[in-house]
């Protein structure tokens, strides 16, 4: 991981030329961070850069449109920035991207399964391990065990789009986990079980829209179909059908745009694995159109174009 002092120096250098720099600061406990919007030099003292910097800060870019903004990004986050630039949702001219190399963050969801994170007393993150003291017990875990799946299967550890790069570029992990391993496991279940699984999971949803608002590409936000009365796409009721349908709005509106950064699932306060929907769509995009979102600012998303003779689509034949 790049050194935070070097990052702070870069931020201080850029700060006079922009309205704000978006980074991370320490959050409510030792293993949680929070976004930090730096406007003056004093704010930069609070900037951190370590494995707790999980947030994809690109989610703040569309709402700061019109300002000169600098943003600090990991490899995965940079793909969201590329996608936003590609779609004209942020202005490249107004944007300064500070790229970082990153070989993985820690997952709150995985930490919660392993340790009593609500009673966290102290934590130390080493090169290949995390040591946690919680509820009086000390636990040492391999870093791999508490990294999000997206880090274990990361193909882009370095920011793909940047104006300044802080640190030395990194190699992707030697033994990359299959990015669709969890999806495969899920799809191995019988259809009825998958249907019942979602009914159960979605019944937990509280319709708070954290998934939508954390998503860097869900840019309608305040004008979301889910709350629209005209057209009246869905009811405001909080039953499973409406909550599930909302997830399908989110997923289908991201088809061919989603970079699978996992913010939706990370943000979910109820721990619903909503990333599965996007993973599935991501794999379909690769299968059908050999397209991966967020790699090229000049690419056209596959659902915004067509080929008269599609290579991979076999239409249904009737006798």
Partner 1 sequence: MSGMACSELKIIGFLCNWCSYGGADTAGVARFRQPTDLRIIRLPCTGRMDPLFVLKALLGGADGVLVSGCHPFDCHYSSGNFMARRRLEVLARFLPVLGIDPRRFVYTWVSAAEGAKWQAVVTAFTETIHELGPAPRVLDPDDAPLRFKEGREIWPT
Partner 2 sequence: MAVTQRFFLAHEGPGGVAAWLSAMAETMRVMTPVREGISVVFRDHSPEAPLDFGGLDTAGPKAAVFPQTEYLLRYRAERTAPVGGHRGVKLEEVRPEGDVLLFGASPCGARGLTLMDQVLLRDGVEDPCYRIWREHALVAAIVCQAPYSSCFCNWVGGAPDDARGSDLLLAEIEDGFVVEAVTDKGLAAVRERLAVATEEQARAAAERAEAARAALPAPPDLDDCPARLNAAFDDMDFWNEAAAGCIHCGACTYACPTCTCFNITDEASGLAGERIRTWDSCMFPNYTQEAGGHNPRPTRAHRLRNRVLHKFAFHPARFGEFSCTGCGRCIRLCPMGLDIRTIIRTIEPRTATQTTESRTGRAKEAKHV
C-beta of 37 vs 145, nearer to partner 1:
145
Structure tokens, 279: 């993973």
176 binds partner 1 (CB under 8 A): no
187 binds partner 1 (CB under 8 A): yes
The listed partner (partner 1, partner 2, none) that binds 139, CB under 5 to 8 Å by sort, is: none
The listed partner (partner 1, partner 2, none) that binds 66, CB under 5 to 8 Å by sort, is: partner 2
Query: Any idea what the Cα angle at residue 157 is, between residues 153 and 162, rounded to 5°?
Result: 145
C-beta of 256 vs 279, nearer to partner 2:
279
The listed partner (partner 1, partner 2, none) that binds 315, CB under 5 to 8 Å by sort, is: partner 1
Q: How far is the CB of 27 from partner 1 (least distance, A)?
A: 18
Residue 229: other Cβ atoms inside 10 A = 7
Q: Which of 62, 56, 68, 88 is nearest to 21 (CA)?
A: 68
Q: Which of 88, 131, 110, 105 is nearest to 49 (CA)?
A: 105
The listed partner (partner 2, partner 1, none) that binds 32, CB under 5 to 8 Å by sort, is: partner 2
Residues 51, 55, 79, 150: which binds partner 1 (CB under 8 A)? 150
Q: How far is the CB of 273 from partner 1 (least distance, A)?
A: 5
Site of interaction with partner 2 (CB under 8 A) = 27-29, 32-37, 55, 59, 63-66, 109, 112-113, 118-121, 135, 200, 204, 206-210, 212-214, 221-222, 227, 229, 235-239, 263, 266-271
Do the beta carbons of residue 74 and residue 81 sit within 8 Å?
Answer: no
C-beta of 144 vs 227, nearer to partner 2:
227
- Cα separation, 213 vs 15, whole angstroms: 27
C-beta of 9 vs 207, nearer to partner 2:
207
Q: Which stretch binds partner 1 (CB under 8 A): 25-33, 89-97, 154-162, 284-292?
A: 284-292
C-beta of 173 vs 271, nearer to partner 2:
271
| 137-142 sheet: strands from edge to edge | 120-125, 129-134, 137-142
Q: How far is the CB of 27 from partner 2 (least distance, A)?
A: 3
Restricted to residues 107-126, the positions that interact with partner 1 (CB under 8 A) are 107, 109-110, 113
The listed partner (partner 2, partner 1, none) that binds 34, CB under 5 to 8 Å by sort, is: partner 2
Q: How far is the CB of 117 from partner 1 (least distance, A)?
A: 13
Using CB under 8 A as the binding criterion, the count of chain residues that bind partner 1 stands at 66
Q: Answer whether the bond into residue 231 is a cis peptide, omega within 30°.
A: yes
What is the pairing mode between strands 95-99 and 129-134?
unpaired
Restricted to residues 188-207, the positions that interact with partner 1 (CB under 8 A) are 189, 191-201, 203
Q: Contact positions toward partner 1, by CB under 8 A?
A: 107, 109-110, 113, 148-150, 182-183, 185-187, 189, 191-201, 203, 233-234, 239-241, 244-245, 248-249, 251-252, 255-256, 262, 265-266, 268, 271-273, 275-277, 280-281, 284-285, 287-289, 302-303, 306-308, 310, 313, 315-316, 318-319
């Amino acid at each position: 991981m790049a050194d935070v002092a070097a990052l702070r120096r870069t931020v201080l250098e850029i700060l006079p030329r922009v309205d704000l720099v978006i980074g991370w600061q320490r959050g409510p406990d030792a293993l949680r961070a929070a976004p930090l919007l730096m406007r003056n030099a004093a704010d930069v003292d609070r900037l951190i850069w370590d494995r707790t910097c999980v947030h994809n800060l690109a989610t703040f870019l569309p709402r700061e449109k019109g300002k000169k903004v600098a943003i600090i990004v990991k490899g995965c986050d940079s793909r969201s920035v590329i996608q936003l630039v590609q779609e004209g949702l942020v202005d490249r001219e107004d944007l300064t991207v500070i790229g970082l190399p990153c070989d993985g963050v820690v997952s709150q969801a995985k930490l919660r399964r392993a340790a009593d994170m609500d009673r966290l007393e102290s934590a130390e993150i080493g090169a290949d391990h995390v040591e946690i003291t919680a509820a009086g017990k000390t636990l040492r875990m391999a870093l791999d065990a508490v990294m999000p799946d997206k880090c274990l299967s990361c193909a882009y550890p370095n920011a793909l789009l940047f104006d300044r790069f802080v640190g030395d570029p990194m190699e992707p992990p030697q033994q990359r986990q299959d990015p669709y391993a969890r999806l495969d496991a899920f799809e191995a279940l019988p259809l009825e079980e998958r249907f019942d699984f979602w009914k159960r999971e979605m019944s937990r949803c509280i319709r708070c829209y954290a998934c939508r608002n954390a998503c860097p590409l869900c840019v309608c936000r305040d004008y979301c179909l889910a709350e629209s009365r005209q057209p009246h796409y869905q009811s405001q009721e909080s039953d499973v059908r409406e909550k599930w349908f909302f997830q399908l709005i989110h997923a289908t509106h991201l088809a061919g745009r989603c970079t699978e950064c996992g913010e939706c699932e990370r943000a979910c306060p109820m721990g619903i694995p909503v990333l599965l929907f996007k993973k599935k769509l991501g794999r379909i995009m690769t299968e059908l159109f050999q397209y991966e979102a967020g790699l090229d600012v000049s690419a056209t998303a596959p659902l915004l174009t067509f080929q008269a003779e599609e290579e991979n689509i076999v239409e249904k034949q009737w006798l």
